[in-house]
């Protein structure tokens, strides 16, 4: 099999699901013939036609609401946010309408909202966001954020097939930087299951998305320079969280670092810390510590962005501290 | 804010049937084609709406209604006449003044009573308030509180009709106040561009809670918004049920034949407050009385039935009796309905997992309910007495 | 001095600040002559005129944006959300425009967004929300949520005087249920300082808003029935959090229960747990545990609402568990 | 989607000056009252816009521009002519195609160059991109990326003018695409109801990224949206700088005299892609060339200056030279500017506390920058080569 990029993995999943199921369609700004700002949907309109790959007005409320309505009627819409940052515009309709549809009204609302997320690409404060925390806070939504090609592909398949709304965060830093093969067979990756990205026994790093790669880089350095055996758990699914996998790694290594690119206060690391504290307090040999971005709107200049976002070197420094505790 | 309304000002003038546009002319009105049964049915639905709401008021006063109570007094023609223009397979999304439309679409008084009383066997099993419920099979979708959101949702419902080549139409109601929301704007614009088979009904009932329309928009009339979306705009006297039917039917036919969206403004008047507690202190003296005396949609249609459509009083009165009986019967059953079981609340946030597990600090079933308080959330309180206003 | 309600405390602060500073004005739906859905602004229009107590269209984006623009020009707007639930509609402009204005553009943006929040009042899923977690996650915003009359009054004064945007959550269950006196003098309460609502030495309950009262009720019962001495820390300010006060109570009692009315996953309790874990791990004699609402859109029927929201009896049960650990 | 445009179709027809409305007639045009110096100044600002953008293209190709580069080629008249109608004390909010308006308001080429290069002494000290910056003293407010948000913000700016009785006016630009946003709708509606002294300029440049206007709205023209907000709607040829000035001045005067909001549509054409990387594959053949050859705003005004306003070539050419010199000088300084200090990024999220403390795992100042990558966030990539398109 040939290697493809993370972005191609997503595109391939869209392609496969649209081919498999005629009720799947895409809607978003500039996603048709143009293929989207990042070309994720390139080729889809040519293959499936304008009616299934719909260029929309600049209306995030409109397209999310329309997706919900179509989903009620049996369609399976995939909504693109041109940048995930603009999901903020649809916060009301996503958290109030979509998330509650099944519970309050027994309305099925199977839909995916996807878009390029995250920083490390000099996108500035409005093209680099990680808004996942605001959505894992909302019962009724599922949230995934893959870090590998196989997961990008496999989670998109599961997201489209899921009976509820799944927010699918794509890390734009990874779009073309990482390559991998797709597994043989269907390749769907279940939502709600974490992945051990690297086995280890001295310390667990729990993370997701781009910082999985920062953590792996740090883990190698720690092994090389400190002889530390670091386990890296890639959450993949943020809602629901894989409590079992989190518990397993914590009880194995007894030391935890939670790493994410999102800002610190109110980020998911807090939730993970609380769950570990509740379930595995007795297993902890050190405080659960967090490596995150600063609580600052992400600035644009490379010197500033790199300072505000967590880097592999930060993970190394923090891991040494936790290991030495 | 220089612009002011006189007590019986221009607003009331807007109710003459002649304000209907593009539907006048020599051609027969769609309502001319209704059967005698259908014409009486329109009366039945309006009467059922009013009687059922009056029953709810009685239950509210007995504190059997858990939350607020929302009336459509004076707007029954608007809700009933418009929804009557839909086929069974069409989908409608009501707002808080559209109980009449829901009844036309098959919602039952029993469901509505149970829902208002937060019963365990109500359509939402006690999860949602008042008439916030729906049923896809009968063709109506339950609203949520954030105003405007149903417009993009119905854009999507009707987009699916178009994509699948189904011969179905959608209809969404929006209040004059809710036209100010971003959701309304994005939804109708998207539907218009996509030529979705959707009718958008703006209910110009002159108020949004306490806010008169002139504080809501500087537009001279709501129908002026149509051109900005590139869709036809129609306007009708919302208190004339046949006029409402006519204008909506025209829009529905337009949608069904592939013409896309129509914005229909129905001019009417909200005679009760925003909710039952609201004392309408902000309404100019005499305004409500004027509408009650001169422009009640039921009174008007009662006269039309007799004077223009040739119905005898002996044909109309049994309808009133039938409605009373139906509401009585439903009330009796609804009052017996059990409250929801607490644990039922854990089911169905997601399809998978199908239920939440009880929290760690809870053991077994609990009965934490100490008293059945009315939602303060809905109340306008009298500050001095600390009591809720009437 | 006479006792006034929590609601009257807020109204009095609005009145005093509007009188003191002509640049303060209010904008919101039905807040003028009508006085607002809960009558918080009653009497303000009569006193200060329509131009300073503006009835707006139903446009949460519009009024928040307009407040920001006016704030740039030196005004001090106070925006009412008719119910705080509708702040979701302004999520974009609050988190992207308002929160970043100072940092990215050196634009002052002193404004308050206030509104009736919280449950226990049979308001159903869209009139009972506690959306604070989505906003403490946003650098650039401040968030307060008082539980007493004096704090309602004093924090509103500070919020209006603050140089940045403050979200002021008012608990509608408390509006007329609690009474108290205003302190002599100015009475402004600094943002960022917690309050010890009850002193104790065996266990700390960290909480805010309506659940402060549930915690106090539980503390009394625990004292009476178990002889437990429970400290209750009322956070008052959620952003910034009072790390010092949190640390002090934790290091004093060594056992912590974090209680909030908000849903569990992604609620603020996670953030608090993480901060305690990081700063005071060595002082902990038991896992930090959370008592929160279920992860469910808040249902309407009393039987369901009471089951989904945390009750004093839940706090009692949880506290016993933590105390016995 | 049946509606289609021909390559040189109706869209191009919209540029004839005669489409200006309500500004034609016997009365003198506002631009007739401009001095000779001012008329030449208009040319200066347009030329400066173009030359500065061309310089930025060169710097972009040298990868000295950190993020994307946004051109206003072909729209210089729209930005310059409209902003020229403001007084010094008025406040303007630009969008991405309004560098020209910012220059008129006093933004300097040096600031813009530093900003694009993310320098530490740029107006936002490296925090924000390209022309996202402002200065209240000079009367312009920096935009943010989420489209539409500046409309409610400017509603508030101008509301403050009204509340304080200040003799000031606001002007906000919005793209044809951004008219689809809820923020635009809520903002203009609120401003209209409040009669804020605000001019809303809709730049109909025929595209929003790749999306042609007919996929954005079914409205026949953007100016049709005015009636829905109850405000006057004016339209002008956006490539005729004097027509732009005239129509905007009319709207500004209307606002200043207490008349409230005007919606002004400027019909123009975006000759470059959304950003520099965009290869405009979606544009019909010949369309760009047609506009370049027949309707370039600088060419047109160059001719007008000579043929109608009596300027000699010898008066115009020194302007071009002056602009070149200014841009050269600014480039030289900007290139020498230092990058921001990492720790400067900790300052000023709040007034209080004035700075964030460094995170626990950081020690001292870091220099984490490994390479100066261009924001992939702005790029359309060529999938095959893995390279960014030109
Ligand atoms: C987005 C949003 N903001 C505010 C509210 C609070 N609210 C509920 S009903 C109402 C007035 C609605 O007026 P209108 O749309 O004219 O409908 P009517 O009640 O007159 O039928 C308001 C402001 C809401 N439900 N949603
Ligand atoms: C709310 C929002 N959605 C999407 C985007 C992404 N986006 C940036 S520019 C643009 C096109 C804008 O078109 P238009 O408003 O016509 O302005 P123009 O570029 O033509 O001047 C889009 C979709 C955004 N910035 N904000
Ligand atoms: Mg109304
Ligand atoms: Mg455009």
CB contact under 8 A, D183 and B181: no
Which residues sit opposite C179 in a β-bridge?
C5
Task: Say yes or no to pLDDT of C212 above 90.
Answer: yes
Nearest to C200 by CA among C227, C162, C161: C227
Say if CB C309 and CB C211 are below 8 A apart: no
Q: Do D246 and D214 fall into the same domain? A: yes
Question: What span, in angstroms and rounded, lies between the C-alpha atoms of D235 and D256?
Answer: 19
Q: Do B89 and B44 fall into the same domain? A: yes
Return the pLDDT at A231. 98
**B205 Cβ inside 6 Å of ligand 1:** yes
**Residue A143, Ramachandran bin (φ over 0: left; ψ between -120 and 50: alpha; else beta):** beta
Residues whose CB falls within 8 Å of the CB of residue D273, separated by 6 or more in sequence, listed in order: D71, D279, D280
Domain at D111, CATH number: 3.40.50.970
Nearest to B46 by CA among B273, B315, B320: B320
Q: Is residue D81 part of a domain?
A: yes
- Of all ligands present, the nearest one to the C-alpha of D98 is 2
Q: Do B183 and B323 fall into the same domain? A: yes
What do you get for the CA distance between the two ends of chain C, in Å?
45
Number of domains making up chain B:
2
A72 labelled catalytic: no
Question: What span, in angstroms and rounded, lies between the C-alpha atoms of D262 and D248?
Answer: 9
Mean per-residue pLDDT, A244-258: 98
Kindly list the protein residues that place their beta carbon closer than 5 angstroms to ligand 3, a single-atom ion: B 175-177, 205, 208
Expressed in angstroms and rounded, the spacing between residue B161 Cα and the centre of ligand 2 is 29
- C237-239/C230-234 β-pairing: unpaired
**A61 Cβ inside 6 Å of ligand 2:** no
User: pLDDT band at C1, cuts 50/70/90?
Assistant: low
Q: Do D275 and D305 fall into the same domain? A: yes
Alpha helices in chain D (DSSP H): 10-13, 36-61, 76-83, 99-104, 109-116, 150-163, 182-193, 213-216, 241-256, 287-294, 297-307, 313-336
Question: What span, in angstroms and rounded, lies between the C-alpha atoms of D133 and D18?
Answer: 36
User: In this structure, which residue's CA is closest to atom 19 in ligand 2?
Assistant: D208
- Give chain B positions within 8 Å (CB) of C301: 66, 118-120, 126-127, 339-340
Token pair in block for residue A41: 């949907």
User: pLDDT band at B27, cuts 50/70/90?
Assistant: confident
Return the pLDDT at B14. 40
Q: What's the mean per-residue pLDDT of chain A? A: 97
Token pair in block for residue A115: 């878009």
User: pLDDT band at A64, cuts 50/70/90?
Assistant: very high
Question: What span, in angstroms and rounded, lies between the C-alpha atoms of A173 and A5?
Answer: 12
Rg (CA), chain A: 19
Mutation to probe ligand 1, out of C57, C58, C93, C123 (largest number of atoms < 8 A from CB): C58
Q: Is residue D23 part of a domain?
A: no
Using a CB–CB cutoff of 8 Å, tell me whether B151 touches chain C. Answer: no
- Give chain A positions within 8 Å (CB) of B134: 105, 107
pLDDT digits (tens, 9 = 90+) for D252-299: 999 999 999 999 999 999 999 999 989 999 999 999 999 999 999 999
Question: What span, in angstroms and rounded, lies between the C-alpha atoms of B100 and A196?
Answer: 57
pLDDT digits (tens, 9 = 90+) for B324-343: 999 999 999 999 999 999 99
Return the pLDDT at D22. 45
Q: Is residue B70 part of a domain?
A: yes
Nearest residue, CB atoms, C140 vs list D132, D142, D349: D349
More confident site: A57 or B19:
A57
Widest pairwise Cα distance in chain B: 73
Return the pLDDT at D363. 62
Is omega for the bond preceding A240 within 30 degrees of 0, making it cis? yes
Distances (CA, A) of B179 to A96, B204, B213, D1, D190: 19, 10, 10, 27, 12
Mean per-residue pLDDT, C231-235: 98
Question: What span, in angstroms and rounded, lies between the C-alpha atoms of C43 and B160?
Answer: 50
C-alpha dihedral sign at A267, A269, A271, A274: negative
Q: Is residue B2 part of a domain?
A: no
Question: What span, in angstroms and rounded, lies between the C-alpha atoms of C140 and C167?
Answer: 11
CA C178 and chain centroid, separation: 15
Q: Do D290 and D385 fall into the same domain? A: no
Which residues sit opposite B347 in a β-bridge?
B355
CB contact under 8 A, C88 and A89: no
Q: Do B103 and B237 fall into the same domain? A: yes
The residue ranges of DSSP E strands in chain B, in sequence order, are: 91-93, 170-175, 198-204, 207-208, 211-212, 233-237, 262-267, 381-382, 387-388
Question: What span, in angstroms and rounded, lies between the C-alpha atoms of A269 and A278?
Answer: 14
User: pLDDT band at D27, cuts 50/70/90?
Assistant: confident
Q: Is residue B1 part of a domain?
A: no
Mean per-residue pLDDT, D25-39: 91
Stated pTM of the model: 0.95
Q: Do B127 and B236 fall into the same domain? A: yes
- B211-212/B91-93 β-pairing: unpaired
CB contact under 8 A, B224 and D219: no
Return the pLDDT at D83. 98
Nearest to A39 by CA among A30, A50, A27: A30
Say if CB C245 and CB C193 are below 8 A apart: yes
Q: Do B300 and B234 fall into the same domain? A: yes
Find the Cα–Cα–Cα–Cα dihedral B129, B135, B138, B144, rounded to 10°: 50
Q: Do D199 and D334 fall into the same domain? A: yes
Task: Say yes or no to pLDDT of D13 above 90.
Answer: no
Token pair in block for residue C239: 């952003």
Q: Is residue D2 part of a domain?
A: no
Say if CB A142 and CB A240 are below 8 A apart: yes
Using a CB–CB cutoff of 8 Å, tell me whether B133 touches chain A. Answer: yes
CA A50 and chain centroid, separation: 28
Q: Give the burial string for B359-387 (b: 16+ CB within 10 Å, else e).
A: bebbeeebebbeeeebbbbbbbbebeeee
Mean per-residue pLDDT, B362-385: 38
Question: What span, in angstroms and rounded, lies between the C-alpha atoms of B112 and B135?
Answer: 13
DSSP string computed for B263-306: EEEEE----S-SSTT---TTSPTTHHHHHHHH--HHHHHHHHHH
Say if CB D147 and CB C60 are below 8 A apart: no
Return the pLDDT at B356. 93
Nearest residue, CB atoms, A271 vs list C86, C104, C265: C265
- Of all ligands present, the nearest one to the C-alpha of B72 is 1
Say if CB D236 and CB D23 are below 8 A apart: yes
Find the Cα–Cα–Cα–Cα dihedral D314, D316, D318, D322, rounded to 10°: 180
Task: Say yes or no to pLDDT of D206 above 80.
Answer: yes
pLDDT digits (tens, 9 = 90+) for D116-166: 999 999 999 999 999 999 999 999 999 999 999 999 999 999 999 999 999
pLDDT digits (tens, 9 = 90+) for D372-387: 333 343 333 333 333 4
Question: What span, in angstroms and rounded, lies between the C-alpha atoms of C256 and C246?
Answer: 10
Task: Say yes or no to pLDDT of C69 above 60.
Answer: yes
Specify the 3-state DSSP secondary structure of C143: strand
**D147 Cβ inside 6 Å of ligand 2:** yes
Q: Is residue B25 part of a domain?
A: no
Mean per-residue pLDDT, B23-50: 90
Kindly list the protein residues that place their beta carbon closer than 5 angstroms to ligand 4, a single-atom ion: D 175-177, 205, 208
Catalytic residue among A127, A171, A260, A294: A127
**D208 Cβ inside 6 Å of ligand 2:** yes
- C237-239/C142-144 β-pairing: antiparallel
Distances (CA, A) of C77 to B96, C21, C73, C162: 31, 11, 11, 11
Using a CB–CB cutoff of 8 Å, tell me whether B1 touches chain C. Answer: yes
Q: Do B245 and B376 fall into the same domain? A: no
Nearest to B53 by CA among B94, B119, B105, B99: B99
Mean per-residue pLDDT, B144-159: 98
Which residues sit opposite A76 in a β-bridge?
A24
Say if CB C105 and CB D122 are below 8 A apart: no
- Residue D300 distance to chain A (closest CA, Å): 32
Query: Treating both helix axes as pointing N-terminal to C-terminal, what angle do A6-20 and A149-161 enclose, rounded to 10 degrees?
Result: 30
Return the pLDDT at D26. 65
Q: Which residue range is the domain that position B384 belongs to? A: 357-390
Distances (CA, A) of A51 to A27, B163, C50: 9, 7, 50
CB contact under 8 A, A96 and B163: no
- What DSSP element (H or E) covers D265? strand D262-267
Question: What span, in angstroms and rounded, lies between the C-alpha atoms of B382 and B342?
Answer: 33
Chains that touch C (3 or more CB pairs under 8 A): A, B, D
Q: Give the burial string for B21-30 (b: 16+ CB within 10 Å, else e).
A: eebeeeeebb
- Residue A197 distance to chain B (closest CA, Å): 26
pLDDT digits (tens, 9 = 90+) for A162-205: 999 999 999 999 999 999 999 999 999 999 999 999 999 999 99
**D202 Cβ inside 6 Å of ligand 2:** no
Say if CB D18 and CB D48 are below 8 A apart: no
Q: Is residue B7 part of a domain?
A: no
Say if CB B34 and CB B245 are below 8 A apart: yes
Question: What span, in angstroms and rounded, lies between the C-alpha atoms of C165 and C111?
Answer: 5
Tokens 């030279």 map to which residue?
A: D321
- Residue B277 distance to chain A (closest CA, Å): 25
Report DSSP state, residue D73: T
Q: Do D316 and D167 fall into the same domain? A: yes
- Residue A90 distance to chain C (closest CA, Å): 8
C-alpha dihedral sign at A153, A155, A160, A161: positive
Q: Do D67 and D161 fall into the same domain? A: yes
Question: What span, in angstroms and rounded, lies between the C-alpha atoms of B130 and B59?
Answer: 13
């Amino acid at each position: 099999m040939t290697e493809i990029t993370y972005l191609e993995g997503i595109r391939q999943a869209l392609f496969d699901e649209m081919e498999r199921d005629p009720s799947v369609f895409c809607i978003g700004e500039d996603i048709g013939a143009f293929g989207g700002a990042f070309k994720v949907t390139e080729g889809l309109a040519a293959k499936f036609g304008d009616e299934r790959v719909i260029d929309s007005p600049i209306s995030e409320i409109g397209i999310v609401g329309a997706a919900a309505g179509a989903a009620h009627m049996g369609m399976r819409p995939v909504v693109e946010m041109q940048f995930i940052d603009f999901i903020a515009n649809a916060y009301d309709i996503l958290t109030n309408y979509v998330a509650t549809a099944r519970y309050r009204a027994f309305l099925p609302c199977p839909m995916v909202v996807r878009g390029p997320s995250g920083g490390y690409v000099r996108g500035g404060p409005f093209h680099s966001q990680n808004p996942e925390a605001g959505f894992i806070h909302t019962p009724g939504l599922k949230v995934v954020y893959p870090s590998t090609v196989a997961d990008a592909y496999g989670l998109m398949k599961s997201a489209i097939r899921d009976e509820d709304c799944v927010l699918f965060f794509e890390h734009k830093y990874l779009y073309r930087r990482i390559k991998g093969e797709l597994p043989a067979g269907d390749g769907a990756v279940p939502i709600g299951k974490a992945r051990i990205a690297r086995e280890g026994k001295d310390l667990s790093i729990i993370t997701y998305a781009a910082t999985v790669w920062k953590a792996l880089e740090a883990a190698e350095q720690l092994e090389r320079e400190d002889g530390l055996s670091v386990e890296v758990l890639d959450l993949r699914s943020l809602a629901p969280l894989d409590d079992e996998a989190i518990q397993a790694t914590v009880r194995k290594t007894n030391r935890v670092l939670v790493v994410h690119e999102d800002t610190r206060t109110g980020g998911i690391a807090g939730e993970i810390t609380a769950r570990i504290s509740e379930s595995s307090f007795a297993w902890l040999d050190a405080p659960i510590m967090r490596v995150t971005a600063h609580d600052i709107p992400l600035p644009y200049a490379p010197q500033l962005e790199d300072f505000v976002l967590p880097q592999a070197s930060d993970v190394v420094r923090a891991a040494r501290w936790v290991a030495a505790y | 804010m220089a612009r002011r309304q006189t007590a019986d000002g221009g607003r009331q003038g807007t109710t003459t049937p002649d304000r209907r546009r593009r539907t006048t002319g020599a051609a027969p009105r769609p309502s001319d084609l209704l059967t005698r049964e259908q014409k009486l049915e329109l009366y039945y639905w309006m009467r059922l709406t009013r009687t059922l709401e009056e029953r709810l008021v009685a239950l509210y006063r007995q504190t059997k209604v858990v939350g607020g109570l929302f009336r459509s007094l004076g707007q029954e023609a608007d809700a009933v006449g418009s929804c009557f223009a839909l086929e069974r397979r069409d989908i409608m999304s009501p707002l808080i003044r559209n109980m009449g439309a829901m009844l036309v679409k098959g919602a039952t008084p029993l469901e509505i009573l149970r829902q208002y009383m937060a019963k365990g066997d109500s359509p939402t099993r006690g999860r949602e308030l008042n008439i916030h419920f729906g049923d896809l099979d009968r063709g109506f979708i339950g609203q949520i509180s954030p105003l405007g959101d149903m417009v993009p949702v119905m854009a999507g419902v009707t987009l699916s009709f178009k994509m699948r080549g189904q011969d179905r139409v959608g209809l969404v109601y929006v209040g004059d106040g809710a036209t100010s929301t971003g959701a309304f704007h994005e939804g109708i614009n998207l539907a218009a561009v996509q030529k979705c088979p959707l009718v958008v009904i703006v209910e110009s009932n002159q108020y949004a809670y306490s806010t008169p329309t002139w504080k809501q928009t500087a537009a001279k009339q709501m129908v002026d918004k149509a051109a900005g979306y590139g869709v036809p705009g129609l306007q009708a006297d919302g208190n004339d049920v046949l006029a409402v039917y006519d204008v909506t039917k025209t829009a529905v036919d337009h949608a069904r034949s592939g013409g896309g969206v129509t914005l229909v403004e129905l001019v009417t008047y909200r005679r009760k407050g925003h909710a039952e507690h609201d004392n309408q202190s902000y309404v100019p003296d005499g305004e409500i009385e004027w509408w009650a005396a001169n422009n009640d949609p039921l009174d008007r249609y009662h006269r039309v039935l007799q004077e223009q459509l040739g119905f005898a009083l002996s044909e109309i009165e049994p309808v009133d009796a039938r409605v009373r009986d139906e509401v009585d019967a439903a009330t009796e059953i609804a009052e017996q309905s059990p409250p929801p079981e607490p644990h039922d609340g854990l089911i169905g946030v997601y399809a998978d997992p199908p239920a939440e597990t009880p929290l760690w600090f809870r053991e077994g079933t609990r009965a934490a309910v100490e008293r059945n308080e009315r939602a303060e959330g809905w109340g306008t309180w009298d500050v001095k007495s600390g009591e809720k206003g009437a």
